[in-house]
Amino acid sequence: MESWQPDKRISTPPHVLTIAGSDSGGGAGIQADLKTFEAWKCYGSSVLTGLTAQNTTGVKAVHQVPTDFVMQQLKAVWDDGPPQAIKLGMLTSASTVDALATYFARLPNASSSKPIIVLDPVMISTSGHMLVGDEAMASIRNNLIQHVDWLTPNIPEAMALTDMADEGDMNVESLFDMMDITHELSVKYNAPYLLLKGGHKPWARRKVKSLASAAMKAGVELVWLDDGEGGDCVEVLQRQSGEDADDNSYMSEKMVVDLLQERDSDRTTWFISKYIRSSSTHGTGCTLSSALACSIALAAESGADISAQAICQRAIEYVKSSIASAYSFGKGHGPLNHAHMSYRRALPPPTPSNPHPFVSHLIRSDLPLWKSYVRHPFVIQLGNGTLPRESFEHYIKQDYIYLQHYARAHALGAYKSTTFESISYFTSIAAHIARESSMHVAYCESFGISLATLEQTTESAPCAAYARYILDVGAQGDILDLYVAVASCLIGYGEVGLWLQKEVKAGRGNKEGNLYAKWMEDYSGKEYLDAVDRGIENLEKLIAADPPSPARLERLTKIWQECVRLERDFWEMGLKL
Amino acid sequence: MESWQPDKRISTPPHVLTIAGSDSGGGAGIQADLKTFEAWKCYGSSVLTGLTAQNTTGVKAVHQVPTDFVMQQLKAVWDDGPPQAIKLGMLTSASTVDALATYFARLPNASSSKPIIVLDPVMISTSGHMLVGDEAMASIRNNLIQHVDWLTPNIPEAMALTDMADEGDMNVESLFDMMDITHELSVKYNAPYLLLKGGHKPWARRKVKSLASAAMKAGVELVWLDDGEGGDCVEVLQRQSGEDADDNSYMSEKMVVDLLQERDSDRTTWFISKYIRSSSTHGTGCTLSSALACSIALAAESGADISAQAICQRAIEYVKSSIASAYSFGKGHGPLNHAHMSYRRALPPPTPSNPHPFVSHLIRSDLPLWKSYVRHPFVIQLGNGTLPRESFEHYIKQDYIYLQHYARAHALGAYKSTTFESISYFTSIAAHIARESSMHVAYCESFGISLATLEQTTESAPCAAYARYILDVGAQGDILDLYVAVASCLIGYGEVGLWLQKEVKAGRGNKEGNLYAKWMEDYSGKEYLDAVDRGIENLEKLIAADPPSPARLERLTKIWQECVRLERDFWEMGLKL
């Protein structure tokens, strides 16, 4: 093992483990679990209990993993650092269930590092395949459930767990029947948290609304997931969805109620949401229990006091939108869209080996263009002292005009700021340019250009085009647009200063007797380069705090390239005098 | 199967299949593959060839999956719709290799739907565990490789495949030795694309730079992944990284060269990148081959003509930044940060069941506040005709002043626009308000308020506060900020109009003889509500095109809430006259 360790600035995400079966088709099992972990930005590991040859139309074959090997996997994962949360899915054999129960029983009980265990009591697949036998189910009920923190049955599973199915009492006639089942399970298995998933039994909005008020009086808490308070105060959105066409159809709309029962507080919550009519429901149970495990682990990590209700709501909302955003896939019940809440960054995050991903991207987005600016013949001739004096004089006069607008652009940045820090950054640059203008005047005088001459100089088209482009970007866009617009001047002159200094060092430039030595010194001096560093750091900080979408990055890149082009034309103006 | 089908607007991503082993620890194997597929937004399925009990310190035990069951999984996946690309990883037995070779051999060769196959010739794990036996390796070489499109060995694997290891000729002394190996493998196995991964053998930048020019003359193409042209023209970034402290240390820096050999064009490419010193390299090979499979599948799907070089570059860059952004995990060689290029959306994408996620979020972000605006006592009294006439008159006079600023805000929106469509949207609203001002005047006259009175009315503080807030948001922020600032008035009045109309219908409001009937009609009329719909659609379109980061969404939500509060105060002003 090398002594090298990863950068500590990149924090380790919570570790969530799934103990479940494999679905070759990728829609359910540990595949759905791992996809969910990725979506929630948790680190996922997996212990396989069995493999299925499966696709969206059903399970074709099952391969059992021996209990010994299940436990070897668990031990390997645990020994490397135990997970913060565990999701238990398909547990195919009684011996595996018993071995897991024994393992969990031996964990030090009081330990704060004991993982939270979520059990999805899987019995049959969405496609109707019996996944767990009677013997394994009996072991789950008798030996395993007592170690579980969260139990997440759907209605058929809940009835099987309460023995209602055996007693021939299969009916759930009202939402209060669901409350009865929840209470019975809660008492029978003493689970701290019980989530009864109501997706198998949708109800008309009318019924839910009328029962909801009765439930509230009985102390139930209501969480409306789609519409504020069941459609109140959002007439305008209902109209948009065509839902107010007639009030009757709106009230007949199907709703799903998920019930959360909290043992210690004896609190019951109804999560009420629109029923999503969809055939893309393969792996819904796996996904919900995995999302719950992530939600729990992330809440614990945040250190904030997040209620079980809030933890649960996040998981349910994720599953609902995963179903709603599902795409067509396969011939049967398609998978959920696990990745719908993630999108690809347009830029990697900063790392020790790539500390400036944004500025590096800007420069590399058109390297020949950048090179045509920072290695312009004007610059090269300036460095070796062969630049015609008239060219430099023309340039320096226009630069005096440009700097005034450049200072104004920074004042505009201060005006657009939302923090004192930002106001201070922009005003200090504007003030610095204004202050240093006297040095610019003195420098011009050394070339025989008087202040009067400077003030009578007509602004050239390249100067006007560039300065006014920056100011217009500032007026049209937000503060980040403006930051980028002023950056190519700041950074480019730093690049030129540094490079000329190196060239002189390497004997390729010429400083002795060079008319422009002072100019070169100014832009390779500590004061200027420190300002460049601050500018680069500020840009990277803004980008890291609010990572741009591809569309936004494209716009920013366009502003940068336009400014680089206008900078190049500014040298060109000097040279082509 | 239900007849219902997922929304066609949500397109199905490319399907990528991994045929490989499982790593319980989650860092390598199909776990690394699935994590990579998620990061690339491809749909992942998996055929398991073997299971390992494994963590970051090594492989503890292996469980073989019978060849028959491997093939049952493959058939299940394939029958549901073949993948666009396949990644082959750990293939533990010769019989499995042969069965796969036979399966691929039977695929119709000319078919355009034939998946692209990437083979990662896994032999030993990062931790040094021998994963594939000699017999299986022989089968891979003799029977399987001929069906493979991309071969991605590292240096030891490449030498084993060329028999150089057996001949005792284990040394890679120069980059040209690597080119020799690449050529030999390419000829020996006739693979269309061969990527030799150079991570095991880093070179000093000095050496790479000097050989690079020789290589270029020999026709090799160079792709510098970190610095433009090996550090040229980015002095300013090197300074930032402390790399120019002295030129010698910069030139001594370790670099990695990956070689791509394209059979048909006989093109050789060197991908040159900084060597990342890291112990987080567990699963690097799995991740590269999976990223390559995704990059290939996405390039094919895009329909654009994307070169093998560009496809390869994307995969290499992903792996490099996955290593660079790795966090501390486990006791041995830690995993890569597969999720580093994704981040969680702050809002779900629009779906048929949630077509307006942004506006819905804004309204629900503070429902009591929203309610205090759209169900304000002023509105309720207006609806049942009990609102004191003086209150309404005060309101309507201030509204005349407000509307002028509201029109100006839309003109500012046109000024900040980047498309004619947007200019047209904003100017048409501004023009409409200006035109309709004469109707406002006429309406005021019906209350005995003359134009002269309107023009002499002093602007109240609530009106000034609200109107100037909107204008300031427009000046300070970008066009989306302004869009949100003008939206709460537009949408809120639609909500009020629709609700009052419903109340009247339900007999709770009062229109007959109501002094304010015309006002109610205006804001529930088709013309106004169509404008509301357009406004909502525009907002959702902007958000979908450029999904906000959490920070951005928070800022937009703050603007919305401030405007809702100021709208409420505007009613309040009328009532508390």
A9 in a structural domain = no
pLDDT band at B321 (very low <50, low <70, confident <90, very high): very high
Model confidence at A243: pLDDT above 70: no
B326, B359, B502: residue with CB nearest A235: B502
Tell me, what's the pLDDT at B108?
Answer: 83
Nearest to A142 by CA among A202, A86, A98: A98
pLDDT of residue A2: 41
Listed in sequence order, the residues at least 6 apart from B398 whose beta carbon sits closer than 8 Å to its beta carbon are B457, B459, B460, B462, B463, B570, B573, B574
The verdict on A288 and A433 lying in the same domain is no
* Rounded average pLDDT over A525-554: 94
**pLDDT grade for B443, boundaries at 50, 70 and 90:** very high
pLDDT of res. B236: 85
Determine the Cα–Cα distance for residues B96 and B90; give it in Å rounded to an integer.
Answer: 11
pLDDT digits (tens, 9 = 90+) for A269-326: 999 999 998 889 999 999 999 999 999 999 999 999 999 999 999 999 999 999 999 9
Together in a domain, A111 and A208: yes
pLDDT at residue number A6 = 58
Q: Do B438 and B321 share a structural domain? A: no
In the predicted structure, residue B2 carries a pLDDT above the cut 50:
no
Same domain, B315 and B371: no
- 3-state DSSP assignment of residue A115: coil
Q: Which residues in chain B are contacts of A228 at CB distance < 8 A? A: 363-364, 367, 370-371
Which residue, B327, B329, B346, is CA-closest to B337? B327
What letter does residue A227 receive in the DSSP assignment? S
B118 lies in a domain? yes
Residues B123 and B203 in one domain: yes
Q: What is the CATH number of the domain that holds B474?
A: 1.20.910.10
- Res B544 pLDDT > 50: yes
Q: What is the DSSP letter of A226?
A: S
Asked if pLDDT for residue A165 goes beyond 80, the answer is no
DSSP assigned state of B196: E
B81–A331: do the CB atoms touch at under 8 Å? Answer: yes
Longest pairwise C-alpha distance within chain B: 106
Q: Range with the lowest mean pLDDT among A40-54, B66-80, B195-209? A: B195-209
Q: Give the integer Cα–Cα distance in Å for B575 and B390.
A: 9
Q: Which of A39, A81, A418 sits opposite B330 (nearest CB)?
A: A81
| Rounded mean pLDDT, B436-450 | 93
Question: Does pLDDT of B169 surpass 60?
Answer: no
Contact residues, chain A, for B342 at CB < 8 Å? 38, 41, 339, 342-345
Average pLDDT over residues A335-345: 93
Query: What is the pLDDT averaged over residues A216-245?
Result: 76
For B61, the closest of A6, A43, A69 (CB atoms) is A69
- Span B445-459, mean pLDDT? 95
The confidence score (pLDDT) of residue A103 equals 96
Average pLDDT of span B505-513: 83
Check whether residue A319 and residue A404 sit in a common domain. no
* Residues A99 and A159 placed together within one structural domain of the fold: yes
Instruction: Report the 10 Å Cβ neighbour count for A218.
Output: 10
Q: Render pLDDT for A107-138 as a digit per residue (tens, 0 to 9).
A: 887 666 789 999 999 877 666 677 778 899 99
- Domain assignment present for residue A4? The answer is no
Contact yes or no for A481/A416 (Cβ under 8 A): no
Does the pLDDT value for residue B126 go beyond 80?
A: no
Is the pLDDT at A410 greater than 60, yes or no? yes
Is the pLDDT at B569 greater than 90? The verdict is yes
A348 domain residue, yes or no? no
Contact B329 A367 (CB under 8 A): no
DSSP string, B45-77: EEEEEEEEEEETTEEEEEEEPPHHHHHHHHHHH
Domain boundary among B340, B372, B398: B340
Chain B residues whose beta carbon lies within 8 Å of the beta carbon of residue A339: 13, 38, 41, 342
Q: Is the pLDDT of residue B227 over 80?
A: no
pLDDT tens column, B188-202 = 999 999 999 999 999
Task: Report pLDDT digits (tens) over B7-59.
Answer: 666 789 999 999 999 999 999 999 999 999 999 999 999 999 999 999 999 99
Domain-located, residue A345? no
CB A283 within 8 Å of CB A27:
yes
Q: What is the mean pLDDT of residues B499-516?
A: 87
With respect to residue A439, please indicate whether it lies within any of the assigned structural domains. Answer: yes
- A20 three-state secondary structure: strand
In this predicted structure, the answer to whether residue B111 has a pLDDT above a threshold of 70 is no
Q: For residue B315, give the 3-state DSSP assignment.
A: helix
Can you tell me whether residue A475 is helix, strand or coil?
helix
Q: Please check whether residues A205 and A313 belong to one and the same domain.
A: yes
pLDDT score at B357: 94
Indicate if the pLDDT at residue A512 is higher than 90: no
Q: In terms of domains, do B228 and B311 share one?
A: yes
Domain interval for residue A80: 15-340
Residue to mutate among B8, B15, B234, with most A CBs inside 10 A, is B234
State the average pLDDT for chain A.
91
Q: Is there a contact between B423 and B414 (Cβ–Cβ < 8 Å)?
A: yes
User: What mean pLDDT is predicted for residues A334-352?
Assistant: 92
Under the banding of pLDDT at 50, 70 and 90, the label for residue B415 is very high
Shortest distance between the Cα of B532 and any Cα of chain A, in A, equals: 8
Q: Say how many domains are in chain A.
A: 2
Token pair belonging to B55:
């963590």
Answer yes or no: do B74 and B204 share one domain. Answer: yes
> Are A334 and A377 within one domain?
no
User: Which of B97-101, B233-237, B520-524: highest mean pLDDT?
Assistant: B97-101
- φ/ψ (deg, to 5) at A22: -100, 140
Is A357 a residue whose pLDDT tops 90? yes
Interatomic CA distance for residues B6 and B462, integer angstroms = 48
Segment A88-109 mean pLDDT: 93
Q: Are B390 and B331 contained in the same domain?
A: no
Bigger pLDDT: B247 or B376?
A: B376
> Of B310, B340, B370, which residue is a domain's last?
B340
Q: Which residues of B touch A72 (CB under 8 A)?
A: 53, 60-61
Looking up residue A28, the CATH number of its domain turns out to be 3.40.1190.20
Rounded to two decimals, the pTM is 0.94
Shortest Cα distance, chain A CAs vs residue B184, angstroms:
33
Q: Which residue of B has its CA nearest to A28?
A: B45
Instruction: Give the pLDDT score at A1.
Output: 36
> What is the pLDDT, as a whole number, of residue B3?
43
> What is the DSSP secondary structure assignment for residue A256, as one 8-state letter?
E
Q: Is residue B46 part of a domain?
A: yes
| A53, A340, A475 ranked by CB distance to B72: nearest | A53
Residue B1 confidence (pLDDT): 36
B347 in any annotated domain = no
Which of B340, B373, B403 marks a domain boundary? Answer: B340
pLDDT band for position B167 (50/70/90)? Answer: low
Half-sphere exposure of A21 (CA within 13 A, CB side): 29
Q: What percent of chain B has pLDDT over 90?
A: 76
Note whether A20 and A44 are within 8 A (CB). Answer: no
